[in-house]
């Protein structure tokens, strides 16, 4: 990253630029011009299409009146993919009741074709998911997400036969529960941990870094419970506007399992015990 690289961006002359920390997928930078600030994401040696899912998700948020960064430009410079967004001055603290209401509103946006999935795949740096349109949530969640993760973990030698057998037993429980659960395909953030929301200067919640798909809304809620950062106000406001259905406490474990399997795949064996504990809990609670 240098001035020659930055000069090829489709914006006016950049006065200052500085790296922004906090993410683990992209290089991120705050750019300042005479007229406007920008937020730049860069994925080295990658095609510009890497960002097509995130771009579509941010535009879906905008259409649903969910506050999120606005897409300015996307392309490739010297073989590096980039995504240029408008820069928002954000803080991590704010009224989580408003956040709960905003997520409830997000989860009322129905799939345009009545199916589960998305128009673009999820492109990750460790593992990607196809998001192929399906008629039921179980097919997408089990076949396109959990099974793919299980295969990846086995290929990396993080899982061996005992872990695979435990996974297969838990998978049967998940499949049986999802077969009777009435899932509806609604717009999801897809990676909704505490690092992916903030608050604007006027106190409004802002959703960032989406991995959008149309799926069961409990997927997003389950992910919120893995690493914390969401207050009781968030859950109370969400439940007030869009109550979760009977049995959700058990099903949230399915989505905790997914998220911890993603972290096991990406960051290694420090997550192995947590994944095994969840697999065991799912089997015991059936």
Catalytic residues: 191
> Token match 């128009």: residue?
119
Q: How far apart are CA 240 and CA 57, in angstroms?
A: 26
| H or E segment to which residue 39 belongs | strand 37-43
Buried b (16+ CB within 10 A) or exposed e, 244-266: eeeeeebbbbbbbbbbbbbbbbe
What is the sign of the dihedral through the CA atoms of 249, 114, 98 and 27?
positive
With left for phi above 0 and alpha for psi between -120 and 50, is residue 203 left, alpha or beta?
left
Q: What six digits make up the tokens of 114?
A: 């009545």
- What is the C-alpha R_g of the chain? 20
With left for phi above 0 and alpha for psi between -120 and 50, is residue 267 left, alpha or beta?
alpha
**CA angle, corner 232, sides to 181 and 208, nearest 5?**
75
Helix/strand/coil for 27: strand
Helix then strand count (H, E) for the chain reads: 10, 10
Q: How far apart are CA 62 and CA 109, in angstroms?
A: 12
């Amino acid at each position: 990253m240098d001035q020659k690289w930055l000069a090829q961006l489709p914006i006016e002359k950049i006065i200052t630029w500085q790296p922004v920390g906090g993410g683990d997928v992209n290089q991120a930078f705050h750019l300042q011009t005479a007229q406007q600030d920008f937020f730049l994401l860069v994925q080295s040696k990658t095609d510009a299409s890497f960002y097509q899912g995130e771009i579509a998700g941010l535009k879906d948020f905008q259409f649903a009146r969910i506050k999120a960064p606005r897409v300015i430009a996307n392309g490739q410079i010297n073989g590096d993919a980039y995504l240029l967004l408008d820069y928002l001055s954000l803080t991590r603290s704010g009224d989580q009741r408003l956040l709960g209401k905003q997520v409830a509103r997000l989860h009322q946006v129905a799939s345009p074709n009545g199916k589960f999935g998305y128009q673009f795949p999820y492109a990750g740096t460790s593992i990607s998911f196809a998001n192929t349109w399906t008629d039921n949530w179980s097919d997408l969640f089990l076949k396109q997400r959990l099974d793919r993760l299980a295969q990846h973990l086995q290929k990396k030698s993080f899982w061996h036969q005992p872990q695979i057998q435990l996974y297969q037993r838990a998978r049967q429980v998940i499949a049986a529960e999802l077969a009777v659960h009435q899932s509806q395909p609604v717009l999801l953030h897809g990676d909704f941990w505490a690092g992916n929301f903030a608050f604007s200067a006027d106190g409004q919640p802002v959703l960032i870094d989406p991995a959008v798909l149309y799926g069961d809304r409990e997927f997003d809620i389950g992910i919120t419970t893995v690493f914390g950062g969401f207050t009781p106000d968030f859950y109370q406001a969400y439940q007030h506007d869009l109550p979760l259905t009977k049995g959700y406490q058990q099903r949230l474990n399915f989505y905790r399992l997914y998220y911890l399997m993603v972290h096991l795949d990406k960051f290694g064996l420090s997550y192995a015990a947590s994944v095994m504990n969840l697999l065991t809990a799912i089997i015991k609670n059936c």
